[in-house]
Structure 1
Amino acid sequence: MSETGRDEGVIKFELVHSYKNLAVNSQFVLLNDCRNFLHSQGLIGEYPDGIGFGNVSILADDRKSFLITGTQTGAKPALDQFDYTNVTQVDFTSHSVYSEGPLLPSSEAVTHAMIYRCSRAKSVIHIHSARLWQSFLKLAGREFEIAIVPESVPYGTVQMAENVAILLSDLQVYHGGIIVMAGHEDGILFFGDSIDEARNRLQYWRSVYFRARDR
């Protein structure tokens, strides 16, 4: 854990990883374009203590694997194929992740996997924004239907995945495309049927924030 007490970026699952290069395909191009845009907006990046934050993923067409940013890549303004990994299997019982690629997978890989398991989502965006996070925690349950994982649930754990699954049992949560992690400071998940839809949901909820702020 860092001196700040933040354990962002720490992998909390059993990992079976094979190092190999990944091919560049159309899914990679779409995902990487989105990731690099998010970095330019400050929604993916690195804290002053050197801990990276934020990640993105996209599900394969056969829904058997997903491509995700590698761990601790947040500082890089632009990524390439050597900064991603392919998650081929997640065992939720043993909290084990099987992956292959040049880097180890993001510490939030299990949460991404649970979203894919419990919904028809094909892409997940995990950003950090103190302003959005604080605002959505206040707006939830008032004017807007914003799904919240309780503050007592730490990121990257079985408990986080289980809570996400419970939330996604409500179709309204999927259609809203947002989950705020109260116990994961600044952390927000957006998801959708495609990378474009996940990104559009992020943009929609950002517009909600600006309207609420300017009232």
Structure 2
Amino acid sequence: RYGGYGYGNVSMRIPPYDAPVNHRAFVITGTQTGEVGVLTPLNYTVVTAYSPERNLLVSEGPCKPSSESLTHGSVYDQDPAIRWVIHAHSPEIWRNAAALDLPTTAPDVLYGSPEMAGEVWRLFAETDVRSQGIFVMGGHDDGVVAFGATAEAAAEILIGTLLIATKLKGA
């Protein structure tokens, strides 16, 4: 479906890790960088503050932050130990979310929206997403978000889930 390419975005928390909610700064890939072959520093920006309630992002850098920045910020707000967030597109995981028992945002909530940020808070309050390290974006075809203390941990969750999903009927 994606021609062998992976689209999405990635972010990394930066100190201070004990910053208040909505001020947990992170570096994130810029908007519309999915087709860039090799990313350079010009393809990243720093989000310093965000407010889903006001649909507000404050960033510093050479490009505009990803449209998923509010979602990333809401994940970081759940636990200072979360240092990496990966948003990817995986038809295999997305189609098999129920069979994989993955927490899933409401299907009527659009990606990148303040409502999606609210869905992140709901998932952390009502599901075991914290221990799973991954959730599916029900209103965003193929949208999946994995997170962890390291880039490797988040990627292992994503790839491990993909491996299981590809073995399921209908993947």
Does TM, scored on the shorter chain, surpass 0.5? yes
2:110 corresponds to: 154
The 2-side partners of 1:56 and 1:80 are apart by 14
Alpha-carbon separation, structure 2, partners of 1:40 and 1:58: 27
Residues 208 and 158 (structure 1), Cα distance of their counterparts in 2 relative to 1, 3 Å cut: same
Instruction: Please give the alpha-carbon distance, in whole angstroms, between the structure 1 residues aligned to 2:109 and 2:127.
Output: 22
1:145 to 60, 84, 101: 101
Q: Residues 160 and 214 (structure 1 numbering): CA distance in 2 closer, same or farther, change over 3 Å?
A: closer
| Paired residue type of 1:104 | K
- 1:57 aligns to what? 11
Following the alignment from structure 2 to structure 1, what is the Cα–Cα distance between the partners of residues 126 and 55?
24
Number of residues of Structure 1 aligned to a counterpart in Structure 2: 163
SS at structure 2 position matched to 1:93: helix
In structure 1, what is the Cα distance between the partners aligned to 2:157 and 2:3? 18
Runs (4 or more) in structure 1 with deviation over 4 Å come to none
Please state how far the C-alpha of 1:170 moved relative to its aligned partner: 4.6
CA distance in 2, matches of 1:94, 1:209: 37
Amino acid corresponding to residue 97 of structure 1 in structure 2:
L
Superposition map of 1:40-119 within 5 A: 42-44=5-7, 54-63=8-17, 64-119=24-79
The 2-side partners of 1:197 and 1:189 are apart by 13
SS in 2 for 1:98: strand
Distance (whole Å) between structure 2 residues aligned to residue 167 and residue 150 of structure 1: 10
Aligned match of 1:201:
157
Q: Provide the secondary structure at the position in 1 that maps to 2:12.
A: strand
Structure 2 partner of 1:122: 83
Quote the RMSD (CA, aligned, Å).
2.1
The alpha-carbon distance between structure 1 residues 124 and 91, as it changes in their structure 2 partners (threshold 3 A), is same
Alignment of 1:134 onto 2:90: no
Distance 1:74 1:202, change over 3 A: same
CA distance in 2, matches of 1:65, 1:121: 12
Kindly, what percent of the aligned residue pairs are identical? 33
Rounded to whole Å, the distance in 2 between the matches of 1:135 and 1:78 is 31
TM-score (norm 1): 0.70
Aligned to 1:51: none
Distance 1:61 1:168, change over 3 A: same
Task: Output the CA distance in 1 between the equivalents of 2:55 and 2:76.
Answer: 16
Which sections of structure 2, spanning at least 5 residues, go unmatched? 18-23
Q: 1:210 to 1:82 in 2, by over 3 A?
A: same
Distance 1:133 1:125 in 2: 15
Residue 196 of structure 1: how far off its partner (Å): 1.1
Mapped to 1, the partners of 2:86 and 2:169 lie a distance apart of: 23
TM-score calculated relative to the size of structure 2 = 0.87
